[in-house]
Amino acid sequence: MAISEQRLEQVKSVKRAIAKKRAGELKNRAGEFLEARHQIDTGFTMQDEAKQIKIRILDLFGAAEKDWQNWRWQLKNRITDAKTLAKIIRLTKKEIEQIERVSESFRWAISPYYVSLMSISDSWGPVRRQSIPSILELQDTLETDDPSFEEFTSPVDTVVRRYPDRLIINTTNQCATFCRHCQRRRNIGQRDRHVPKEKLRKALAYIRDNEEIRDVIITGGDPLTFADQVIEWLLAELSKIKHVEIKRIGTRTLATMPQRITKELCKIIEKYPPIYINTQFNHPREVTPDAAEACDRLIKAGAVINNQSVLLKGVNNDPHVMKVLNQELLKIRVRPYYLFQAKPVRGTSHFITPIKEGVEIIRKLRGYTSGLAVPEYIVSAPGGLGKVAVSGTNMWESTDGKVLLRTWEGKIVNYPFGASL
């Protein structure tokens, strides 16, 4: 029997009423975030304050705009002492004394650009926490400098291998800014050191001799602190190895020194595809117009950019902050790829959150924002056993409160830093 037009309109009206009710429910679910979003600074909304700090820095160093845009100037003029920093941002006498005390044990350096992202008066905002030494580093009870067992998974100098088909080449200990949560603090030492070509050649020889290696990650430190000719030499050598299918560069310069992404560097990137950039933005304040321009240059050169955030207490351990960060990254065409649980490195325990907190953040992202804006939550298994994507199928809590993880090899390991820190 044919359905009358009147009946069709009635059915349509009922469906539309149901849809409107559901839309109202979804609008209410978005309300909390919309209210919180206005309280979260981004690198775009903080431009006026960043410009004020930039002017202070240029005046302090007697520099001009052309210097500011020169990555070598940025690297040469990293701020490395508390008294100089105090001329740029507000520091109390006690804070200066504590920074100097920590400096005796842990070296630090911050690029002028990254200092410009700090709030002038916010004592421990997200950029300050990541880059200025804290007295908490000296009060740490963690005992390991190498929780990922890199020194036990290094078949030759500079190479770290944890998986069948890929490996890392650690090329330098130099960075534009030394992150206080760095997993390789042990390598920072007292001076910057690039790995000599002789050792890099041995790493290349190892890759040539092992045809199952199809993916090579160039990291450090930050390999983009090398001169262009060294970067090109290394990419060219890797490109000559037939079984190496992709090359990845691990760099934080997009967040800490975007001036490094020059036209000359991009020409090199363009010559040796495919190249993937693994970068690290941890807070929306780091996503700036300068960072967007640097990413745009890389993308036009053919690079694919993935972001690997680190979950840090007091910086981004909030679902609203993480949502804004990931949405800001998508706007500049950077894919939120991983959210890493902070590694238990000596001097960093004040950054570490319970694993449950990371799981909850991902839960509050899933469905509440685009799937593209939801990274995979990763915990590095103890003993150098690799990454574990945290989910109900490979993580659970034992009766005594310990967190158990199943690695990619099916090994069950106890993660002692997951439940109570």
**Torsion angle in degrees (nearest 10) through CA of 179, 184, 185, 190:** -100
Task: Give the Å distances, CA to CA, from 141 to 76, 96, 144, 338, 382.
Answer: 34, 23, 9, 27, 17
* CB-neighbour burial class of residue 286 (10 A; exposed 0-12, middle 13-18, buried 19+): buried
Is residue 390 predicted with pLDDT exceeding 90? no
pLDDT of res. 386: 86
pLDDT tens for each residue of 265-276: 999 999 999 999
Tell me, rounded to whole angstroms, the distance of Cα 202 from its chain centroid: 29
pLDDT tens for each residue of 8-43: 889 999 999 999 999 999 999 999 999 999 999 999
pLDDT-based confidence at residue 400 (cuts at 50, 70, 90): low
pLDDT tens for each residue of 85-109: 999 999 999 999 999 999 999 999 9
SS (H, E, C) 102-114: HHCCCCCCECHHH
The answer to whether 148 and 384 have CB atoms below 8 angstroms apart is yes
Q: What domains can be seen in the chain, in order of their start residue?
A: 47-134 (no CATH), 150-380 (3.20.20.70)
pLDDT of res. 420: 46
Report the C-alpha gap between 318 and 362 in whole angstroms: 10
Q: Indicate the DSSP class of residue 194.
A: B
User: Length of the chain in residues, anyone?
Assistant: 421
Helices (H), 345-400: 355-365
pLDDT tens for each residue of 131-175: 999 999 999 888 788 888 888 899 999 999 999 999 999 999 999
Specify the pairing of strand 246-250 against strand 275-279: parallel
pLDDT of res. 223: 98
Report the C-alpha gap between 325 and 283 in whole angstroms: 6
pLDDT of res. 412: 84
Strands of 395-397's sheet in order across: 395-397, 403-406, 412-415
Specify the pairing of strand 403-406 against strand 412-415: antiparallel
Q: What DSSP string describes 153-181?
A: S-SSTTEE--SSSEEEEE-BS--SS--TT
pLDDT tens for each residue of 323-345: 999 999 999 999 999 999 999 89
Q: What DSSP string describes 358-373?
A: HHHHHHHHBTTB-GGG
Question: What is the chain's mean pLDDT, rounded?
Answer: 93
The answer to whether 73 and 40 have CB atoms below 8 angstroms apart is no
The answer to whether 323 and 368 have CB atoms below 8 angstroms apart is yes
What is the SS3 assignment for 137?
Answer: helix
For residues 225 and 417, which has the higher predicted lDDT (pLDDT)? 225
pLDDT tens for each residue of 105-140: 999 999 999 999 998 877 789 999 999 999 999 998
pLDDT-based confidence at residue 277 (cuts at 50, 70, 90): very high
Largest CA distance in the chain: 88
The answer to whether 54 and 116 have CB atoms below 8 angstroms apart is yes
Helices (H), 78-142: 82-86, 93-103, 112-115, 126-131
pLDDT of res. 144: 85
Which residues touch 7 (CB under 8 Å, ≥6 apart)?
none
pLDDT of res. 419: 52
Task: Give the Å distances, CA to CA, from 219 to 43, 195, 299.
Answer: 26, 11, 19
What value, to the nearest 5°, has the Cα angle with vertex 152 and ends 274 and 389? 55
Segments of 207-351 assigned E as strands: 215-219, 246-250, 275-279, 304-311, 335-341
pLDDT of res. 398: 67
